Amino acid sequence: MRNPSQWMVCCALTLTLVGCTTSEQPATNEPVEEPVVTEEPTAPEEAPESTDDASDTPEPEVAEEPTTEEEPATETPEDSASVEEAPPVELVPKEPLETEGQANLALGTLILVNKQIALPSNYKPQDLVTPNIAFVDSATGDRRMLRQEAATGIEGLMAAAKSAGIDLKGTSAFRSYDYQVQLFNAYVARDGKEQAMKYSAPPGHSEHQTGLAIDVSSASVGYQLTQGLEQTKEGKWLADNAHKYGFIVRYQRAFEDETGYMYEPWHLRYIGVEHATNVKQMNVPFEQYLKQLMD
């Protein structure tokens, strides 16, 4: 076992490896995901052949262990989260999305955090819980946590996935401001701020700090955060079904210019079944959906 500090660095770097190559914007991970390491890939194992550029995913050594003690949650009846049974949409009163670059916490599960809008450094959701789903071993402690409602949603999603023969595990959920500081600083130290900004973001701008975002991946891509997930049956299942459990694939390929993040088929953001279904049907960035909703 490595000592804690080694492990942390290893983790950070490892996660970093995922994603895309340097050619395009490095994976936008951090605030969003874990940065992609473009250089020094660890060891390209049998990388699932990914067709897109982001695919030369260096393989993080982290996620290799297929086994986890935890079993994917099974208790959630599949119908529990079905679209039809969703409770009526609660339209949020006309609320500003932000005030001078600060996120409007009153938006609840619709809270908007992005490259322009940040959370307070001391923001940590009060209702974080650990969902009963399988995680990769590298995800530990509060990095497995989500806000209660999102946790219930991901349990339903994972149970349905399991029933459909889809193998998925959580790789990273809640991320504290302080953890983000460490990650971001490590990226800046390694690649310089300008470069780091392309795949990471300063603390406060990570959607993971909301407790409403979780990255998931599959054995078919070595549980890495790679665009290659898109080509797998697991990635396709996610794209087709995540909304039924209240999640959207937040950073779509078509929205890269608008969101400032490259395509991340692994990053799920909880916004509730009704809104997620709307966003999917409308096929618009979350930012645009919210603006329309609040107008």
The residue among 90, 89, 118 whose CA lies nearest residue 102 is 118
| 227 φ, ψ (degrees, to nearest 5) | -65, -15
- Residue of minimal CB distance from Zn ion? 267
Residue with tokens 């990273």: 172
Nearer to Zn ion, 33 or 234 (CB): 33
Give the DSSP per-residue string, 57-113: PPPPSGGG----SSPPP--S-GGGG-STTPPPP-PPPS--SEETTEE-GGGGGG---
Minimal distance in Å, beta carbon 97 to Zn ion?
Answer: 20
Nearer to Zn ion, 95 or 258 (CB): 258
Residues within the interface to Zn ion (CB under 5 A): 32-33, 215, 267
Cβ(92)–Cβ(111) under 8 Å? Answer: no
Nearer to Zn ion, 96 or 201 (CB): 201
Minimal distance in Å, beta carbon 49 to Zn ion?
Answer: 23
Q: Any residues with CB less than 8 A from the CB of 193 and at least 6 apart, and which?
A: none
Minimal distance in Å, beta carbon 221 to Zn ion?
Answer: 15
Nearer to Zn ion, 155 or 215 (CB): 215
Helix or strand holding residue 102 (H, E): strand 102-103
Nearer to Zn ion, 123 or 199 (CB): 199
Cβ(81)–Cβ(156) under 8 Å? Answer: yes
Minimal distance in Å, beta carbon 100 to Zn ion?
Answer: 25
Minimal distance in Å, beta carbon 91 to Zn ion?
Answer: 27
Residue with tokens 């780091």: 196
